[in-house]
Chains A and B, each alone.
Chain A
Amino acid sequence: MRNPWAQTGNYRTSYVQDTTIFATYREIVSVGVLLVALVLLPQFLERSQVLTLNFILIYAIAVLGLNITTGYAGLISVGQAAFMGVGAYTVALTAPYLPFYLTIPLGAAVAAVFGAVVGIPSLRVKHLYLALATLAFQEIFVWSVGRMPALAQGASIPVEMRNFLGYEIGFRNHNHFWYYVILFVLVLMVIAWRNLLRGKYGRALVAVRDNDRAADAMGMDPGRTKLMAFALGALYAGVAGGLLAYFQRSVVIEEFTLAKSVGFLAMAIVGGLGTVVGSLLGPAFIEYLRLSMERLSEWIKGNQAIQQLIPPGVDVASALLPLSFGLVIVLFLMFEPRGLYNWWRLVRSYFRTWPFKY
C-alpha cells in the first residue's frame, strides 16, 4: 500500500505520474508552510531587511529565467542583466501612461523579443558561440543606453507609483507593499516555470541539451527549442527588471551591467542549476555574501589599527568583493557542482524517510 505521506524512492512508472509536481503530501504541506512563512516574514522585519529580501526575490525571478536558458537548455547567457534592463527601461518609458500590471508584462514581452533576436545564432551553432552572442548584446545594450537621450543616457529615470487601488504607497510602506507584489509575481513565475518544464517543452529542452542530433531525429526542432529557451529566459529577466524599476523607484544603467550578469550566473550555479529551490537559495546566498563583504570593508575602513597594518596603495575594501565572489564560484564548481540545492536535497531526504535510514 502506497503511503501518501512518505516515500523511500522514486516509484514513478508512467508519464502521467512523472509529470506530477508533488510526490507526497509532505511536500505539499512543506510548500504551504514555506509560503505562509514568506507571507508573514516581513511583519517581523525592519524596513531595511525587507529591502534586502525584495532584491533577493527579484533576483530569484531573473535566476529562474537563467535556469531555463542555462540550467535546462545548457546555453550560457552572460546577458541576463541586459534583458532585465530591457524590461526595466520599457517600464520606465510606459509607467507614466499605464498601470504597473500592464507595464511589467509589456516589459517582459519586449525582453523576450530581444532574447529571441540575440538567440538567432542558436539556429545554426552550439552553446559556446551563444555565450558570446549574449556577451555582445550585454555590451551593446549598456553602450546604447549610455548614448540615448530618451533614456537619460543611463542616468536615473524616476518611476513613480503613489497608490494602488486607492491604497496609498508612501515612504513607510513602500518596501512592504512591493514585497507582497514581488512575492505574488514570484509565485506565479515559479508555477509557470514548473508547469512549463515538467511537460512536453521541458522534456524537449533537456533532450536538445543532452544530444541535439538525437532530439532532431526524434522530431524535435533543436533550433526552435533553443530560441524559445532564450526568449523565455529573457522574459523572466524582463519581469524582474520591471519589478526592480518600480521597487527602486528609478532605473539606472548600473543595475544592468556585465558584472550583474555574471552575478546571476554565479547565483544560478551556487544555488544549483535547473532547480526552483536553487533559484531562491542562490540569490539569497550571493546577496548576503555581498552585504557581509560590504560591512566587512566598511569595518576595515573605519578601524584605525587595521588601517595601520595595510601598506599604502593596497585597496582591501574593493578587493574583498571580487575575491570572495570569485572564490565562491570556483569552490562551488570544484567541490559542490550541484550547488546549495544538493545540501537541501540531502536534508530533505533525511526527513522524508525519517525515522528510517532509507
Chain B
Amino acid sequence: MSDFFQFLISGIAVGSIYALAALGFVLIYKSSRVINFAHGQLIAIGAFLAYALAVWLKLPVLLALLAAIVLTALLGFVVERVFLKRLVGQPIISVIMVTIGLASVLDGLMYLTPFGSGNFSYPAFLPQEPLRLAGITISYPQLLAIGFTALFLLLFGWFFQRSTLGISMRAVADDQMASMSVGVSVERVFALAWAVAGVTAASAGMVVGTVSGLNQDSLIAIGLAVFPAVILGGLDSIPGAVVGGITIGVLQNLAAGYLNNFVPGGGTELVIPFVVLLVVLWFKPHGLFGTEEIERV
C-alpha cells in the first residue's frame, strides 16, 4: 500500500509539470483555436535560457529564472506577431502546420547551441536528502514542482478573475465578435495568450530541469505529453488542464510501477498517455470539463 502512495505522490509531482505546461497550451487554444505543436520547444527553450543565464552569465538564481520567463514570454509574443497573425482567416490546417514548422525551426536553432548535443543540470540549490513521511519519500525538486504549480494556479486564478487583461481574455475565448464590439482588442489578447503560454512553458521547463536535468529530447517530449492531458481535461478548460495533467502524471507512475514487469522492455509510462488520449477521443471526446459544441443550422 505504501508503494501505491509513493507512486501517487511522484505522479502528482510529474503531473503538476504537465498541468503547468498544459495551462499555456489551453490558453492559446481557448483564445485563438490554435493547437500549438511547438509547445515542447517553448518548454525546452525556457529551461535552457534559465541555465544559460544562471550558469554562463552567472546571474543570481532568482533573477535568472525571472529573466528566462520574460524572454520565453517574449518569444511566444514574437511567434504570434510574426507568424500566426498573418494567418488569421487561413484554414486551420495552415495554422497548425505553421506551429509544426516552427517546432522544427526551433529544434534546429537549439542544435546550434551546446544544449542540442549534451545533457546539463542546474546547480543543486535544493537539499539532496529526500524528505521522508510515513514511509513515503519525496524529493525537494518534486515538492518544488507541486509548489510551483500551485503558485501559478493561484496567480492565474487571480489574473483571470480580477485583472482587466484576464477578463478580456476570457471574453475573447467566449465570443470574439461580442468582445470586439465592446472594445476588447482581440489582436492584443491573441499575442498575450502566446506570451502567457511562454511564461507557463518556461516555468514548466525549469521545474523539469530541476527534477530530471536538461535534455533536449525529454524536454520536447513534455510538449507531446501535454496533448493527452488537455484532451482528458477538455481542450478548452483551464481547470481541466490541471486535472488532466495531474491524472496523466499519476497514471504514468502507476503504470511504471505496476505494469512494467508484465511488458517486455517496459516503458509503459511512455505509451499510457496516448492510450488514454485515444480512449477519451473514442468515448468522451470533449474530455472531463470541455464544452461540447452544440451546433445549430
Partners in one complex: yes
Scan residues 113-140 of chain A and give those whose CB is less than 8 A from a CB of chain B. Answer: 118, 120-121, 124-129, 131-133, 135-137, 139-140
CB within 8 Å for A124 and B275 given contacts A132-B227, A329-B101 = no
**DSSP majority for the B interface?**
helix
Q: Select which of A316, A329, A333 is within 8 A of B87 by beta carbon.
A: A333
Q: Select which of A131, A213, A321 is within 8 A of B297 by beta carbon.
A: A213
Q: Select which of A140, A313, A330 is within 8 A of B101 by beta carbon.
A: A330
A188 within 8 A of B: no
The answer for the CA separation of A136 and B101 in the assembled complex, in Å, is: 20
Q: Select which of B113, B286, B295 is within 8 A of A213 by beta carbon.
A: B295
Give every chain A residue within 8 A of B293 (Cβ-Cβ).
125-126
Per-position 1/0 for A232-246, Cβ under 8 A of B: 000000000000000
Closest to A138 in B: B274
Task: Tally B residues with Cβ within 8 Å of A.
Answer: 53
Give every chain B residue within 8 A of A324 (Cβ-Cβ).
108
Complex contact A314–B101 (CB within 8 A): no
A285 within 8 A of B: no
Q: Select which of A78, A143, A149, A326 is within 8 A of B107 by beta carbon.
A: A326
Q: Select which of A124, A318, A329 is within 8 A of B100 by beta carbon.
A: A329
The answer for the CA separation of A139 and B102 in the assembled complex, in Å, is: 21
CB within 8 Å for A325 and B104 given contacts A121-B282, A124-B285, A213-B295 = yes
The answer for the CA separation of A214 and B101 in the assembled complex, in Å, is: 33
Q: Select which of B98, B224, B267, B274 is within 8 A of A140 by beta carbon.
A: B274
Complex contact A318–B111 (CB within 8 A): yes
A99 within 8 A of B: no
Q: Select which of A70, A129, A146, A149 is within 8 A of B93 by beta carbon.
A: A70
A322 within 8 A of B: yes
Complex contact A315–B275 (CB within 8 A): no
Task: Tally A residues with Cβ within 8 Å of B.
Answer: 56
Scan residues 79-115 of chain B and give those whose CB is less than 8 A from a CB of chain A. Answer: 83, 86-87, 90-94, 96-98, 100-114
Give every chain B residue within 8 A of A329 (Cβ-Cβ).
97-98, 100-101, 104
Q: Select which of A124, A139, A266, A319 is within 8 A of B109 by beta carbon.
A: A319
A37 within 8 A of B: no
Complex contact A330–B105 (CB within 8 A): yes
Complex contact A334–B271 (CB within 8 A): no
Give every chain A residue within 8 A of B285 (Cβ-Cβ).
121, 124-125, 129
Complex contact B278–A137 (CB within 8 A): yes
- A121-B285, A136-B281, A315-B116 known; 7 new pairs, CB 8 Å cut-off, are A125-B286, A129-B281, A132-B35, A132-B231, A140-B274, A324-B108, A327-B101
Can you list 24 A-B pairs, Cβ within 8 angstroms, ordered by A? A74-B93, A120-B281, A125-B281, A132-B35, A132-B231, A133-B277, A135-B227, A135-B274, A137-B278, A143-B274, A147-B263, A266-B97, A321-B108, A322-B107, A326-B103, A326-B107, A326-B108, A328-B101, A329-B104, A330-B83, A333-B98, A333-B101, A334-B87, A337-B94
Q: Which residues of B contact A (CB under 8 A)?
A: 33, 35, 83, 86-87, 90-94, 96-98, 100-114, 116-118, 224, 227-228, 231, 235, 263-265, 267, 270-271, 274-275, 277-278, 281-282, 285-286, 293, 295, 297
